[in-house]
Chain A
Amino acid sequence: MTQKILAAHAGLPSVTAGQLIKAKLDLVLGNDITAPVAINEFENAGFDKVAKDTRITLVMDHFAPNKDIKAAESCKKCRGFAKRFDLPHFYDVGEMGVEHALIPEKGLIAPGEAAIGADSHTCTYGALGAFSTGVGSTDMAAAMATGETWFKVPSAIKINITGKKGRWVSGKDVILHLIGMIGVDGALYQSLEFSGEGLKDLSMSDRLTISNMAIEAGAKNGIFSVDDITRKYMEGRCDRNWIAYEADADAEYARVIDLDLSEIPCTVAWPHLPEKTHPATEGSDIEIDQVVIGSCTNGNIEDMAAAAEILKGRHIKKGLRGIVIPATPKIYMECIEKGYTKIFMEAGCIVSTPTCGPCLGGHMGILAAGERAVSTTNRNFVGRMGHIDSEIYLASPAVAAASAVTGHISHPKEVMGE
């Protein structure tokens, strides 16, 4: 799939793993941390035009609403650049959401398209059957100027998905389980390609979470076959004619991994690597200080619904801080309309403005020394959410919500009794 999309964007009949190509890009993305560095590069090189046929998208989400003066200056630089080139896809506070939730929601990416973003979780859009990957700011700057970039064509690992998920198991458990199997560099420089009859049991929300964390296995991208779930998701989102690329029956893979959804437990990654996975049931001795539900990994409406189901009519443990972050304004509104916001707040959680915030230790929930969080975010590296002596346990929204109620790492059945 990846190789077909890359070939089409390079204007070549086919490409092979290891080949160096120049590919046209449909979308180039940056945020308030990475875009200022790219803008500096762009301006220092003396460019005075941006590529016309590429959607250059800037999202002010990491340290916004501005956490301090430096963050304010970074956003100001992006705002000025967007104005100078009259960029239609500039998203500031009020319109902005966490970039990788916002971009699929707004139809800025479609199946068969190619995207790069100066953010490692740009791989999220593989959920839609697009090729998308994270790069740095200089690559972003060059792509803003030329509308293209160079790639080394990756080899692929096929993840053959079968079976049905158990109760309380979600896309987050699937990807954590997979990273636990292959390790944080298990797919280094490679594509993860998800296919198989089990796909029909994975909603678009599950898929977005799985593709989002492909980078946590070192992968260049994580892409799903396009099916009816994809087509339904795309309805009404974009009027471009998109293409569903399918892997050939005799496609070559560097490795094939069979994943039976029915065998995957609710999974939690212990500090300080996403590969340190354990079943949630092993965490009953681990007491926690904070729960974060949100981020580009798990800030979608289905994630909010999973948390609300568990928190409805319950209260989080006294003394624990519960922070819920709907990823976009649209999701935020839906939380209000569906009554989730009331459920969260009656449970003792606070509902934050959309932002990346605590996920990368920016703001809105930083940990002190010795504190522990269960978080639906994507990385549990040393110091990621605050002090270097704090700990992050990565989990699904259902596990995070259940853990908020009990005060220790909990399988949802501990709270829901089923």
Chain B
Amino acid sequence: MNAHGKAIKYGDHIDTDVIIPARYLATQDHKELASHCMEDIDKSFVGRIKEGDIMVAGVNFGCGSSREHAPIAIKASGISCVIAKSFARIFYRNAINIGLAILECEKASENISEGDEVVIDFDTGLIKNLTKNETYQAQPFPDFIKEMIAKGGLMSSIKGGAK
């Protein structure tokens, strides 16, 4: 599995309230959520994102509210992977559960600039920055998470176990 896209860059402590403000939480429609993604810190996000783009942020990405609407909005907006120095733990779980790829990598977070063209190999955790001709090594997912993703996410994996 690979991702390939341009980097969209944010800072530290990006909370789920700015990823998807609570005023839009009365809906569960993925496209509607995506249409408001990041708007409280970056009004231009929805307009400039292209399918496959990669979000790159600092520490504690996804902190705050447990709303799964946040990773859903990011995924539905077309982002193929979020790279951060660290993730808030509920966001980390939610992203895996709904099938949004995420990677922790300090070097990538520091060195990738807005607009850089990036390719990610999820099997090895290798992140290539084609614009700067650099590579960064992220920790690939542990096996049990790879298995969960291979089975199509948490719900499919427990259903398989129940049968």
Contact = CB atoms under 8 A, between A and B. Distances in A.
The reply to whether chain A is a binding partner of chain B is yes
Interface of A: 20, 33-34, 36-37, 40-41, 44-47, 62-63, 67-68, 70-71, 73-74, 118-120, 122, 134-139, 141-142, 145-146, 150, 184-185, 188-189, 215, 218, 220, 273, 360-362, 379, 381-384, 388
A370 to B, nearest CB: 16
Contacts of A71: 26
Q: Give the 4 A-B residue pairs with the shortest CB-CB distance, closest first.
A: A70-B26, A136-B94, A138-B97, A136-B68
A22 to B, nearest CB: 10
A379 B17 contact: yes
A237 B28 CA distance: 36
B66 to A, nearest CB: 4
Given A184-B63, A185-B13, A189-B89, 5 more contacts: A45-B155, A46-B159, A122-B66, A381-B17, A384-B22
Contact of A381 (B18, B27, B68): B18
Contacts of A45: 155-156, 158-159
B148 to A, nearest CB: 9
Given A383-B21, A384-B17, A185 B64 contact: no
Contacts of A68: 26
A138 B18 contact: no
B64 to A, nearest CB: 6
A134 B90 contact: yes
Q: Taking each of A67, A138, A388, which has the highest tally of chain B beta carbons within 10 Å of its own beta carbon? A: A138
A36 B89 contact: no
Given A120-B65, A134-B66, A360-B65, A146 B162 contact: yes
A333 B139 CA distance: 53
Interface in B129-163: 142, 144, 153-156, 158-159, 162
11 contacts: A45-B158, A70-B26, A136-B66, A138-B97, A139-B154, A188-B86, A188-B89, A189-B89, A273-B13, A361-B21, A382-B18
B23 interface: yes
B25 A33 contact: yes
Nearest to B40: A383
A31 to B, nearest CB: 10
B143 to A, nearest CB: 10
A138 B153 contact: yes
A27 B146 CA distance: 28
B98 A138 contact: yes
A118 B68 CA distance: 9
Given A34-B68, A37-B28, A37-B68, A139 B63 contact: no
Contacts of B60: 184-185, 188, 218
Contacts of A70: 26-27
B23 A382 contact: no
Given A138-B154, A145-B158, A218 B18 contact: no
Contacts of B159: 45-47
Nearest to B17: A381
A134 B22 CA distance: 17
Contact of B86 (A138, A141, A185): A185
B53 interface: no
A139 B26 contact: no
A185 B59 contact: yes
B15 interface: yes
Contact of B66 (A119, A383, A384): A119
Contacts of B153: 138
Interface in B1-60: 13, 15, 17-18, 21-23, 25-28, 40-41, 59-60
Given A142-B154, A388-B40, A136 B17 contact: no
Contacts of A218: 60, 63, 88-89
A41 B88 CA distance: 23
A360 B67 CA distance: 11
B68 A382 contact: no
A20 B96 CA distance: 15
B17 A383 contact: yes
Interface in B101-146: 142, 144
A136 B93 contact: yes
Contacts of B162: 145-146
B75 interface: no
Given A33-B25, A136-B68, A220 B89 contact: yes
A138 B155 contact: yes
Nearest to A143: B158
B64 A379 contact: yes
Contact of A142 (B66, B86, B158): B158
Q: Taking each of B41, B63, B72, B162, which has the highest tally of chain A beta carbons within 10 Å of its own beta carbon? A: B63
A367 B13 CA distance: 23
Given A139-B97, A185-B63, A41 B18 contact: no
